[in-house]
Structure 1
Amino acid sequence: MSLITRIVVLPVLVAVLIAPLTAAAQDRSQSRSMVASSQGVVASESVLASQVGARILEQGGNAIDAAIAVNAMMGLVAPMNDGIGGDLFAIVYEAKTGKLYGLNASGWAPKALTAEYLRGKGLTRMPQRGIDAATVPGAVKGWEALRTRFGKLSFAQILAPSIRYAEQGFPVGEVVSVYWKDSEDVLRADPATAKTFLPGGTLPKSGDVFRNPELAWTYRQIAAQGAQAFYTGNVAAKLLASSKAHGGTMTAADLSEYEPEWVTPLSTTYHGWTVYELPPNGQGIAALEMLNIMERFPLAKMGHNSVAALHHMIEAKKLAYADMQRYDGDPRFVKIPLAGLQSKSYAAQRAALIDARKATCTIPAGEPDGTDNGTTYLSVVDREGNMISFIQSNYSTVGFGAGLAVADAGFVWHNRGGGFSLDANSPNLIAGRKRPLHTIIPAFMEKDEIKIAFGIMGGWNQAQAHAQFVSNIVDFGMNIQGALDMPRFSKETFPGCDVNFESRISQAVRDSLAAMGHQIVMRGDFSSTRMGAGQAVMRNFTTRVNFGASDPRKDGSAIAELLSLPLTPVRR
């Protein structure tokens, strides 16, 4: 071989050898890489909110401080989804003790908001809008409980970024602008609501700068006085005035006597991983039962999003949700067979009802032993390894919760009371000082030195989305970003064979499932409305490296805390 030939051929051979490696590295199905850092990581559905959380970490705060700061920002930048007029739940992993703690900061119905009261107004079903759909907001008491027990910074420090952005303004995001537009008629129906969220009578559009000085005022009250401002102070006065103006039943005692509850997370195992959810009144028990049923089948061998895997997961969802609807509620008012619903033996009984050849459209609740859409999810891990899985909600995204702003306070009432029932046989029959069945659930999973705080929002989608996320990681070996990205199904209803599919699930798979009796409703490639959207952070406690992931179905991002960097050039 001549010198010239060698010169020509060698680069070609190198290119041929490298090309497959390069293609394999770049030809992947997830939307982006995980964020990896030896410092803290914040994941939320707003880049701006995640940046604020990262800055709180840089200023000496921990994961809990950052989570509260992010939530406050989300109440500003996505006011239809969440805010201090709503409730929250959280799971906290404390690094120094290695213990998990659960917080239920869901509010109760006013004492006078009873089934008799509503039936006396001629209602036969729970209202989904208006003041009678509002329960006591638990979020601010939840903030205080978290900060008091685990936080390092003051409320003044934590809320400072949100106060500044509320006063100076921020550009409205693309996804948020769509929700805003969908709610326009509801916002215009109430003068106080229109004043706050349709400034100058104009609907904020993507890229428009929106300011909320009323919310800045409210946050300043909390910064100065803590939760007392919201439940007995100046903000409480505005809440009570708003309730009275709309004919509501809320009293000063309903607000001042409310307290959140520290709870012990429930758990199950799934192929060697331990998965944690909070106990009722949330739907987390359905995620655990669904995973127990799924574990009875070889999903990994069936293949990801194959006909067999999807069929068995959808049927598992129906079984678990039938039980949730039958038994779940406020455990202070109803007896819930938690041990039975969590048990592997009960899951085996329920799994035996699945017909591998066809969909079942009517699935009754079982009898376990002991029988008697607007949300934000965020997660944070700090450099010490403290982690928080945090979810907070106004309930209905379209309509801004109850559709009523608290006049001159910058936030809306949630409509979580819509989760109650007027059916006398329901475990969720409304009663004074009772908490409704909640859709919002944080989650946590661990195996050996790997711990993951995760959640996926979206109404009744959440438990089934949690189960799919866990399966993506455990059965199919995905990382947390890939597990969020993958196309999902979501069955919003409890009975029936209807099920939502993202269009990225192949036509051949959809046709085979339809032939089995599944009534498929097609959605877009990335459907945040039907499939929800999630965030996740992960820590490897051996390497002390943190990871973050953010769902492409929303506008958010995982952002890492920066090391303290010199502001002047380093001399050589």
Structure 2
Amino acid sequence: MRDFQFPGRSPVRATEAMAATSHPLATLAAIDMLRSGGNAMDAAVCAAAVQAVVEPQSTGIGGDCFVLYSPKGQGAVLAFNGSGRAPTAATAEWYLGKGYDGLPESGPHAVTVPGAIDAWCRLLDDHGRKGIDAALAPAIRYAEQGYVVHDRVAFDWADSFDLLAADEHAARIFLPDGKAPQAGDLHRQPQLADTLRIVSQRGRAGFYEGEIAEDIVGRLRALGGLHALEDFAATKGEYVRPVGTSYRGYDVFQMPPSNQGMTALIMLNVLSAFALGSLEPDSAERLHLEIEAGRLAYQDRDNFIGDQNFVQVPVEQLLSVGHADRLRAAIDPERAMTHLPRLELQPSDTVYISVVDRDRNAVSFINSTYGSFGSGVVGPKTGVVLQNRGSSFRLAVDHPNRIAPGKRPMHTIMPGMVTEKGRAVMPFGVMGGGYQPFGHVHLLTNMFDFGMDPQQALDAPRVFYKDNAVLVERGIPASAIAGLRKRGHQVSVAEKPHGGGQLVLIDWDEGTLTGASDPRKDGCALGY
């Protein structure tokens, strides 16, 4: 139990249903959907659509999504890959011939075809009770009538001023009066409202065919992009088999490659042989082990993970006990490793949604345009912000993530699902681009090794290894920083918080739900 004399908040507890998102309006929309007869999938898509309006820096219908789903909390966990692909004309040779040494982080060549709308429509058709029209209704209302800009949204928005100012249509929509909106300002996106209304009426075809696709492709082509209308029309997500491992008696599931989710599983496998629970949770001893396990797992990520339709990824080998033993042998509890290559990991803006309904359908749902405001490219008539997921591709020969026509990039956004004895016990996620495997592992070990409740586990201070340095949040104690430096780590204080997360914990014996939402974002958990 937390000390009520210190800042913080309690977990949210209920019996019927629970939703947790990074924005209050999205959480409320999910609860309204559940109370009106929708199920967890309806609520998750509805919340994601609202966030595509009210958190425009983090997500949108010009991005991608991934979903883990446990129907009635029983049996096999389903996984859906709703990520888009490179244009058919995009080859590594084309970029090399034009003098590129890598894919840009913004502009048309950073844009992969958005997969979110295809995924939303498919998931609602297969698992929802209500249609896309009902799911989009609150988002249309906020886009048309306006929404109040929340504090974390405003914080991120201001940081993206230069990117938005570089695109006339982005500037017109997102820099009204020539400046980023501040917390408390009212903002509207009427063009996006019209776009969402078309999708609500025509479904998937309304986005990938006709005037919306023509507006987006026309803008990309005008900027020099390689996209074609045929690339949009061919967009189709797919069900895939999740990957998993066991940790402290629980089964933890992630998306398979092209997703980076198994990076977290490799970290858990390495850490499983250490008695973490005997250490202090914010100690240098614990954080050092987490950092070193992460450095090893990310090396595997960068060496092996790519689109399995194009490259063979040795999933079973990477998740094997023997591989974890070999990695673990390289860790010295008293000294940082010096032989590993530099990790150039990028944070990003994303939204994660966790929903469980009265039937115990459990949804772990993540949606993103990658960097803040994605590529910075916006459809002139549609108001659609396009993701910059293509910036993850590489041009090096034989790299598993080398760009190719119709290939998916190695993807950072990763929903998580924990089960026990064949029943879902926790859809969870921690946002933040390359940080996400660290975030998943830190959250799970906080709960399963240190006995923290869900809110405490999200509140706890975090570290991230990036560019050969350990970035610590201000909540990490001075003694831990000193201990990390003694072990050879370069340590500095992070300029921004690491990620943000949500979860819903299912107690099958008591028949209760416990929700939590990260204080690093504006959101909340609500249940009834």
* TM-score computed with the length of structure 2 as normaliser: 0.96
Preserved contact between residue 417 and residue 424 of structure 2 (Cα < 8 Å)? no
Q: Distance in 2 between matches of 1:513 and 1:246?
A: 47
Amino acid aligned to 1:149: D
Aligned 1:451-470 pairs, distance under 5 A: 451-470=425-444
Give CA deviations for 1:97-130 in whole Å, capped at 9, x if unaligned: 5331001111000011111111222111111110
- Say which SS state the counterpart of residue 193 (structure 2) adopts: helix
| 1:487 aligns to 2:461 (yes or no) | yes
Q: Distance in 1 between matches of 2:465 and 2:2?
A: 35
Give the RMSD, CA atoms, in angstroms: 1.6
- Unmatched segments (≥5 aa) in structure 2: 343-347
Compute the displacement of 1:364 (Å): 6.3
Give the aligned partner of residue 425 of structure 1. 398
Amino acid aligned to 1:44: T
Preserved contact between residue 29 and residue 482 of structure 1 (Cα < 8 Å)? no
Amino acid aligned to 1:455: G
Q: Distance in 2 between matches of 1:232 and 1:548?
A: 39
Aligned 1:64-213 pairs, distance under 5 A: 64-95=41-72, 98-213=75-190
- Residues 425 and 450 of structure 1, relative CA distance in 2, 3 Å threshold: closer
Give the aligned partner of residue 63 of structure 1. 40
Structure label with greater radius of gyration: 1
Give the aligned partner of residue 551 of structure 1. 518
Compute the displacement of 1:252 (Å): 1.4
Give the aligned partner of residue 287 of structure 1. 264
| 1:510 aligns to 2:511 (yes or no) | no
Preserved contact between residue 73 and residue 362 of structure 2 (Cα < 8 Å)? no
Q: Distance in 1 between matches of 2:339 and 2:89?
A: 37
Give CA deviations for 1:280-306 in whole Å, capped at 9, x if unaligned: 111111100000000111111123122
- Residues 417 and 381 of structure 1, relative CA distance in 2, 3 Å threshold: same
Preserved contact between residue 57 and residue 382 of structure 1 (Cα < 8 Å)? yes
Q: Distance in 1 between matches of 2:217 and 2:72?
A: 40
| 1:523 aligns to 2:498 (yes or no) | no
- Residues 84 and 34 of structure 1, relative CA distance in 2, 3 Å threshold: same
Compute the displacement of 1:73 (Å): 0.7
Match of 1:471 among 426, 430, 445: 445
- Say which SS state the counterpart of residue 219 (structure 1) adopts: helix
Amino acid aligned to 2:254: E
Amino acid aligned to 1:410: G
Q: Distance in 2 between matches of 1:26 and 1:349?
A: 41
Give the aligned partner of residue 387 of structure 1. 362
Preserved contact between residue 50 and residue 558 of structure 1 (Cα < 8 Å)? yes
Compute the displacement of 1:36 (Å): 0.8
Compute the displacement of 1:450 (Å): 6.2
Q: Distance in 1 between matches of 2:5 and 2:432?
A: 27
Give the aligned partner of residue 297 of structure 1. 274
Q: Distance in 2 between matches of 1:284 and 1:30?
A: 32
Q: Distance in 1 between matches of 2:6 and 2:272?
A: 25
Amino acid aligned to 1:390: F
| 1:444 aligns to 2:417 (yes or no) | yes
- Say which SS state the counterpart of residue 99 (structure 1) adopts: coil
| 1:376 aligns to 2:351 (yes or no) | yes
Identical columns (%): 39
Q: Distance in 2 between matches of 1:48 and 1:364?
A: 43
- Residues 548 and 31 of structure 1, relative CA distance in 2, 3 Å threshold: same
Aligned 1:532-571 pairs, distance under 5 A: 532-561=499-528
Compute the displacement of 1:544 (Å): 2.1
Give CA deviations for 1:356-378 in whole Å, capped at 9, x if unaligned: 2210133269xxxxxxx021111
Give the aligned partner of residue 416 of structure 1. 389
Q: Distance in 1 between matches of 2:388 and 2:2?
A: 47
Preserved contact between residue 149 and residue 183 of structure 2 (Cα < 8 Å)? yes
Give the aligned partner of residue 11 of structure 1. none
Compute the displacement of 1:30 (Å): 7.7
Q: Distance in 1 between matches of 2:250 and 2:95?
A: 45
- Say which SS state the counterpart of residue 552 (structure 1) adopts: coil
Give the aligned partner of residue 294 of structure 2. 317
Amino acid aligned to 1:217: D
- Residues 28 and 106 of structure 1, relative CA distance in 2, 3 Å threshold: farther
Aligned 1:184-263 pairs, distance under 5 A: 184-263=161-240
Give CA deviations for 1:376-408 in whole Å, capped at 9, x if unaligned: 1111111110111111111101xx111111112
Amino acid aligned to 2:527: A
